[in-house]
Amino acid sequence: MDHQILQTTRELIDEVGYPALTVDQVATRAGVGKAAIYRRYASKAEMAFVATMHDQQLPAPAGTGSLHGDLLALVRAFHVRMAAPAARALAPALISELSVNPELKSRFKDTFLAAEQAAFAEIIEQAVARGELAGAVDPAMAHLLLLGCLASALYILNLPVDDAMITDLAAATTAGITALADRHHSNPDKAEPPSRADKTAEPH
Amino acid sequence: MDHQILQTTRELIDEVGYPALTVDQVATRAGVGKAAIYRRYASKAEMAFVATMHDQQLPAPAGTGSLHGDLLALVRAFHVRMAAPAARALAPALISELSVNPELKSRFKDTFLAAEQAAFAEIIEQAVARGELAGAVDPAMAHLLLLGCLASALYILNLPVDDAMITDLAAATTAGITALADRHHSNPDKAEPPSRADKTAEPH
CA atoms of A192 and A173, how far apart (whole Å) = 22
Q: Does B195 sit within 8 Å of A171, measured CB to CB?
A: no
pLDDT 10s digits, A10-22:
899 888 888 889 9
CA atoms of B12 and A199, how far apart (whole Å) = 47
Question: How far B182 CA lies from chain A's nearest CA (Å)?
Answer: 10
- Please tell me what DSSP assigns to residue B50: I
Task: Please report, for residues B35, B137, B154, the alpha-carbon distance to residue A164 in angstroms, rounded to integers and kept in the order given.
Answer: 45, 13, 27
Contact of A176 with chain B, judged by CB distance below 8 Å, is answered with yes
Q: Which residues of B touch A168 (CB under 8 A)?
A: 138, 141, 180, 183
pLDDT at position B200 is 41
More confident residue, A38 or B61: A38
Q: Mark the ranges of chain B whose per-residue pLDDT is less than 70.
A: 54-56, 187-204
- Please tell me what DSSP assigns to residue B189: -
Measured from the Cβ of residue A18, the count of other Cβ atoms closer than 10 Å reads 23
Segments of A17-168 assigned E as strands: none
Task: Please report, for residues A38, A62, A124, A204, the alpha-carbon distance to residue A132 in angstroms, rounded to integers and kept in the order given.
Answer: 49, 17, 9, 15
CA atoms of B46 and B111, how far apart (whole Å) = 13
pLDDT at position B67 is 97
Q: Which residues of B touch A98 (CB under 8 A)?
A: 92, 156, 158
Query: Which residues in chain B (146-175) have CB-CB distances under 8 A to chain A?
Result: 148-149, 151-153, 155-159, 165, 167-169, 171-175
Which domains, ranges and CATH numbers included, belong to chain A? 1-40 (1.10.10.60), 56-201 (1.10.357.10)
Mean pLDDT of chain B: 87
Q: Does B178 sit within 8 Å of A202, measured CB to CB?
A: yes
State mean pLDDT over A180-185: 96
Q: Does B95 sit within 8 Å of A155, measured CB to CB?
A: yes
pLDDT at position A38 is 93
Q: Does A180 sit within 8 Å of B179, measured CB to CB?
A: no
CA atoms of A41 and A45, how far apart (whole Å) = 9
- Identify the three-state secondary structure at position B32: coil
Q: Which residues of A touch B64 (CB under 8 A)?
A: 194
CA atoms of A25 and A34, how far apart (whole Å) = 9
With 50 as the cut, is the pLDDT of residue A88 above it?
yes
CA atoms of B149 and A152, how far apart (whole Å) = 7
Dihedral sign (CA B180, B181, B186, B188): positive
